[in-house]
Structure 1
């Protein structure tokens, strides 16, 4: 017997019923179960009786008409439907937190909130010069700026952690809208008496006979240098990983090796350190930074102002 398909009106009614019954407390409990892998631990974390958690989970699966977990001897494993719901639940709960923060700030006189993720290069090289002009015109707006590697910037904007991101153009921005922001060029940082210091420019291959001070392993600069070394058929003599450009300069100054950082970061950070910056002749040393957003047309008014401000500066640079 052929199953009857729901009419559009019935489908809308079904979706409305699901939305009505899928309350925030239930979503929070669902996320807790996912995090803990165990219903009892989730109930302890949320200070709710295990029987109440179990009933809410049962009701949730019933209203969605799907199984969210596979019950196993080692714990509870998410089904594909459960994985999809977890993604949406985290975004929904995060958005509720944002509402609470925004409303509290409005009550305190703040007139908007911009959430931005940016890679280290943009924070050190460009944003300190680009942001003051924005705040001169929008003094009652607050900026929540977090530093993340470029790939994590993309993921964070996709997941709604921030509305705007700045990352290296080298990484895949997938479905995000991207706009050109700024350009920089990577240089090799050496001590002033290093054997390479008299060269006007060097190739990255020239540096592989020396120890290297590398940025953190997930940075786009480090990943690019590793990839290039592999293509050349050599390995980097990595002596130490450090978290930032200032630490690269300090370690180079201490004789730990040569470093790879953007030219503008070197100009800002190397004053008085008796270091030299050597131009890299590799094409990949010339880099582009891009602005990314999930849906520019759907940005909050304050985030749209920030995006427009940064794009205007990019166009004039």
Structure 2
């Protein structure tokens, strides 16, 4: 037997609504046409499918069986249509977004969720990348957008805009050695056991690049792969951690102090690639979602950079 998908869809609506009239309305069909198609379906099946009563209809045992299988067929058909439709859309290269670890930890995922939901026909390739490499790839036209640190992206002729504070802070267990402290210098932090990101991370390289004598050599109890783990270890009192302030969600039960060192005050820039091949409208839209996510994340954090500036001699 061969069943028409339209007839099956009508039958499902009729049984669900308990009325041929209501089922016809759901299908945008006249009542005589719907009744004729249901009768045709019964002739095709060779058995009555509906019990017709004064107040509507209900399925016979055969109709209940047909209903169950019809729903399965229609659901699988919808999946089939969706899968094939994905190949029918206009082919376009995915947008390429590059960002450092602190941006990737919080507001980049938020921006991707909102952007990809709003633009189902645009794909995005996202990579974590240190600022120097990001700037080079943007200058070469190999990426559409990048999130970079301000003092590492100057004089490259790329379009940029401020995207928010990325200053570093020190965090530790609530009620621990940082309790009651407003700001402190990194040399004081390095006197305590630390936890941090691995040596190949941009944050670890940034700290190592700027820290030198007279600060003591830090003792890292462990180096891990992601900021979430670093923050969890600091919360548990394993060691202090130097992290971007925006990486710590509002309400996280940790002590947080600003660093007085000038190198700890950083800002993110949103940077456009030079001549990268992609839809300008899509790039602009993604930039807008990144901007909104960065601003939302910034609203959750106190301006610890201002505290550090006011504490400078």
**TM-score higher than 0.5 here?**
yes
1:203-214 equivalences in 2 (<5 Å): 203-214=185-196
8 A contact 1:114–1:302 mirrored in 2: no
Deviations 1:271-296 (A, max 9, x none): 4xx43222223333332112233315
Which residue in 1 is equivalent to 2:258?
Answer: 279
Return closer, same or farther for 1:173/1:215 CA change in 2, 3 Å cut-off: farther
Q: CA deviation at 1:255?
A: 3.9
8 A contact 1:169–1:290 mirrored in 2: yes
8 A contact 1:150–1:168 mirrored in 2: yes
Which stretch shifts more, 236-245 or 122-131? 122-131
| Bigger Rg, structure 1 or 2 | 2
Deviations 1:249-305 (A, max 9, x none): 23324443211112221116x84xx43222223333332112233315865335533
The yes-or-no answer on 1:202 pairing with 2:202 is no
Q: CA deviation at 1:178?
A: 3.9
Which residue in 1 is equivalent to 2:231?
Answer: 249
Distance in 1 between residues matched to 2:157 and 2:267, nearest whole Å:
16
Extract unaligned runs of 5+ from structure 1.
1-103
Number of corresponding residues: 211
SS, match of residue 266 in structure 2: strand
Distance in 1 between residues matched to 2:98 and 2:280, nearest whole Å:
18
Return closer, same or farther for 1:111/1:139 CA change in 2, 3 Å cut-off: farther
Between the two structures, name the one with larger relative contact order (CA 8 Å, sep ≥ 6): 2
Which residue in 1 is equivalent to 2:131?
Answer: 150
Return closer, same or farther for 1:297/1:248 CA change in 2, 3 Å cut-off: closer
